[in-house]
Structure 1
Amino acid sequence: MTKVAGMASRLVRGTAIACGVAAVAGAGIGYALGDPVQPEDILPARKLSDGVCGRLGDVASLLPPASKASREPVTLVQNGTSTVTCTAQSGSGRRTFSSAVVKLTVTPYGGRDIGAGKAPLTPAQNAKWTWERSPLETVPDRPYPSKLGRTPSGLGGESWAINALVVRGDIVVHVVYTASPIEQKAAEQAALVLADRAIWETK
């Protein structure tokens, strides 16, 4: 009786394994034959909390020093929870005074259909795919994959518009940092610090 039960148990296990292999093979064959991707196969983008921008804190230290008086705190105002936009502005905007405008966009990516016969991209793959296609310049030796673009304005390069793009997992952060007067390296560093903060707050 024990021998018969053992044989039956092995038969059940063998059947289950065979069914599992067949299912995996069937899925592979389905993609290979060009079956369309079903909506349920594509992972949706996650929603972010409504306090992401607030958690980035006072960004006054990342802006050009004020020409007069003590600096007031500068906080980022949030819009949205699917794609989040954080904005802040400091200064008079006149050329005789310091000024800065910061716009930070946090985009959580979902999966992506890349055509019949192909498995859909995961959220992280889709975010990296988007980051890789940006024409900005890759920044080496960074904790997260990063790219930068910079545009000078004004006389003597005292004003800069910096674009920073950083990716981690399914999140892409895009910072547009425009400030005057400021040195190029200081502007680039400020934009990357803001991007890193946003990446950290969305882990």
Structure 2
Amino acid sequence: MLRRLFCLGGFLLVFISSDLAYSQKADLVKSSKEFQKELNEEFRDPEESPLDLEDLANFEALEFFEIDPDFIVKAEFVRTPAESPFMMKTSTDRMPVYVKYGELYFSLNNKNYKLNVYQNQELTQDPEYFDYLFLPFTDRTNGKTTYGGGRYIDLRIPQTNEVVIDFNKAYNPYCAYSGRYSCPIPPEENDLDIEIPAGVKAFEGH
């Protein structure tokens, strides 16, 4: 799974409307529900689960926020092709190489925000994940209702200048479940000055 690969042992920009058609949001909410189902199935599978054995033995399901269509937003994607590779900090000494691939501009609660999206340089050589982008972020829920180290969202390289960000699909790094993993730390520029009560909540294990 891609989640396991991430966690190893002066321009004037016009913010596009974040509104999505009702039918489109309905499909995206359905997709969010499927994401939750698949994530729980992964965590129940001893071959895939990041849980320690003690937690796996008692595991029933992850705790999610109620799916909220308001946290499914349309963002303007701006490609940043001149970026240099850099080593992203992790929870250990591991320093994977990433490139800032682009910027996402969107609105929530009538305020404008920006998140950077990154590309893991090792995954560009993988035929299954070569087009995957990494969106790590922190927000005001961290350390309260969500994991203190922030959360991640997976994206693919977009074919247009619009990207849908579904915060209901925000998930915890594996480090939230076990000290056996080394997980990227969201860069400071991806700290959102807002609460994002969507996606996976904090995990309370043994």
TM-score (norm 2): 0.34
Higher Rg: 1
In terms of fraction of residues, the more helix-rich structure is 1
TM-score, length-normalised on structure 1?
A: 0.34
